[in-house]
Chain A
Amino acid sequence: MNAERVRDLYELLDQVTGYIYPNEIEIRWSILIVVYPYLTGLVAGAFILASLVKVFKVKEVEPTYRLSLLTALAFLLVAPLPLLFHLGRPERSFEIFLTPNPRSAMAMFGFVYAWYLMAVLLLEIWFEFRRDLVLLARASRGLLKWVYRVLSLFSTDISEAALVFDRRAIRAITIIGIPSAFLLHGYVGFIFGSVKANPWWSSVLMPIVFLMSAIVSGIALVIFLYMVLTAIRDHPIDMRCLDTMVSYLFYAIIVDFSLEALDFIQRLYESEESVKILGTLITSKLFLSLLVLQILLGMLVPLGILVIARVWTFNDDMRKLLYFASVILIQVGIFSTRWNVVIGGQLFSKSLRGLMAYKMEVVSIEGLLAALVLLVLPFIILAVMIRVLPTEPLEDRVTVPSKAPAPESPEILPLPTSGS
């Protein structure tokens, strides 16, 4: 074992308070495992928001439908990376698919993920964008034409009958997609909630709390992206859409807060063997991340802001400002929630007699830098996708994106009438 590692472990040993089992000195699940549920939560939340449009016919949030889908996809593509990087032997990760243990919650990850990616998200996105991809393929030239043709899987039929089928397919997929999104993230909660050895994790509420916080973070993220995107494009914000999204966010926060409060009160009231060490954990190691960041700044403050924004009548600009502030605080809060579950659950000894310390590495593959890269990567993927795919349904006449081989004058191509 290298000397630096030994020194680090001795350093951690100095920070131990009370008694811990000697093997517990090292926090096994690092910040990358904090990033993982945060990312899948955003996926599930963004998808649920998208499904409001197609299944629950909430027409007001239509402008963010495509953005939500693409956001979900961008984050879903990155979601398995933190898991992969954190493995002791990442080169063996395929074993999860080859010899999965059917009794293991974690073994189901590959299947749940593959199902959600292939059977839900990609399929729905393809049906949603198919017409536009066909139109863009017809209107573009050169390489871009091929990109669009490949993305549309070489389909060309945009007759009314075909589009009706597309719409039906989208509805069917979304109906399957909602329970799938619940499964994707509820399952992540189950990975923690089913560990009976860990009293901080072991809770039947865990999957549900994960789900509700996922919905909160997903809606908040799409609101953030929508506001940023309209600002970049210099488009006006559809305030009806924004207000509706925020009201869904508001209700989701209230449900999420109630569930977390219930969990907390239940633990306190039952006052089991672990209550003493968990109390010490909350008031010492998790004081900042749980009480300050998660509950105060990440939940109560944004909730207060949203209440104020609803009770008083503010003008559009003021509302935008309030909304923007609260969605950012909510992201901080939800990330802290993940931190408090994952890291918090490893900061106390299972002997219930002591607390460990977590020293975050910076440059290593399981360190802060890797985590930041993984948090930024979905935004880069999303930016590329938004460049290629239109976030609003195309008009019947298409302006060729300016990146295509530029003709002399802005070219507006007449599109063939549907069915031709």
Chain B
Amino acid sequence: MNKREFLKSLLLLLHAGGFVGALARWAGAKETGGKEGEGKAPGGADAKGEANGKHDPARHWYGMGIEIDKCIGCSRCVDACKVENAVPPEPFFFNTWLERYVIAKDGEAVVESINVKGKSSREMRQDDGEVIRSFFVPKLCNQCANPPCVQVCPVGATFSTKDGVVLVDANRCIGCGYCIQACPYGARYLRPESRIAQKCFFCYHRVAQGLLPACVEVCPTQARIFGDLRSKASRLVRFTRMNKIHVLKPSLNTEPKVYYAQLDGEVR
């Protein structure tokens, strides 16, 4: 290959590279929370009919993936959530929280919420011996497709949106607490000042504007993956395809939309 041929090939390669790059960017824009579209519309703001930036709930079906092995227990998600959603700072109210599991050789699990200081199911002792597994589990409202909280709400204040998020109408909730009793995951609480039910709602105010939920946005290890299950290009769909996934308390038939990868059997 002489110099002229080499330069011609190089020019062609650069063009081809540019084309492939552009293609990748275009595809990336469609992908949920892609690197290019940092904080961009999950499922694609450029989806047909939403080009004007208006959120169309009927076109989405949101969920979250959690890769347990990636969670380092830094609690940035919990802090971000408290700030974003004005969750009371005291360690008794959480839209999302972290649990730490330490499983000893005898199989006994020591569980604690690392956001509630000083309370674990049992103190770890010096003579506990070998720890065989230990991991963090981020918890939040599972945005069930068959939500018991929505079923029991006497006034219809808590409801499922078309895009699969369970919301609470703050102007209608009477604060009876039935939804809190009905939630198998302990995801709900009564806001102390307004005395209405509250829980994680996937930062719907952000999602509707094409942003990611606060907890997903700040997670340094991308242990939380938010996405649209209706979009084939979404990271969440890829996550559910690439991992063996599990949901919490499947026997209750609540059909959660928070999917865990590498979930341990001890986690309830």
Q: Please give the residue numbers on chain A whose beta carbons come within 8 Å of chain B beta carbons, in ascending order.
A: 1, 5-6, 9, 13, 16, 18-26, 28-29, 83, 86-90, 92-93, 95-96, 99-101, 103-107, 109, 191, 195-198, 345-346, 349-354
Contact = CB atoms under 8 A, between A and B. Distances in A.
Contacts of A88: 173-177, 190, 194-197
B185 interface: yes
B151 interface: yes
A28 B177 CA distance: 6
B263 interface: no
B90 interface: yes
Nearest to A108: B154
B155 A19 contact: no
Given A23-B189, A104-B152, 8 more contacts: A5-B192, A9-B90, A19-B121, A26-B92, A88-B175, A104-B151, A197-B184, A346-B181
Given A16-B119, A19-B121, A28-B177, A106 B192 contact: no
Given A9-B92, A104-B152, A29 B175 contact: no
A87 B181 contact: no
Interface in B155-202: 155-157, 172-178, 180-190, 192-197
Contacts of A96: 154-155, 174
B260 interface: no
Given A197-B252, A351-B268, A22 B155 contact: no
B106 to A, nearest CB: 16
Interface in B82-103: 88, 90-94, 97, 99
B73 interface: no
A199 B166 CA distance: 24
Contact of A99 (B156, B194, B196, B252): B156
Contact of A1 (B88, B172, B180, B268): B88
A104 B184 contact: no
Contact of A23 (B93, B112, B193, B268): B93
A1 B184 CA distance: 26
A109 B235 CA distance: 45
Contacts of B174: 87-90, 92-93, 95-96
Contacts of A18: 121-122
A95 B155 contact: yes
A9 B94 CA distance: 14
A21 B182 contact: no
A264 to B, nearest CB: 22
Given A21-B185, A89-B173, A353-B121, A109 B154 contact: yes
A23 B94 contact: yes
B268 A22 contact: no
Contact of B172 (A5, A99, A345): A99
Interface centre among A9, A20, A89 (most CB of B within 10 A): A89
Contacts of A197: 148, 181-184, 252
B186 A350 contact: yes
B209 interface: no
Contacts of B173: 88-89, 92
A87 B155 contact: no
B188 A23 contact: yes
A92 B157 CA distance: 11
A273 to B, nearest CB: 8
Given A23-B92, A104-B153, A350-B186, A13 B119 contact: yes
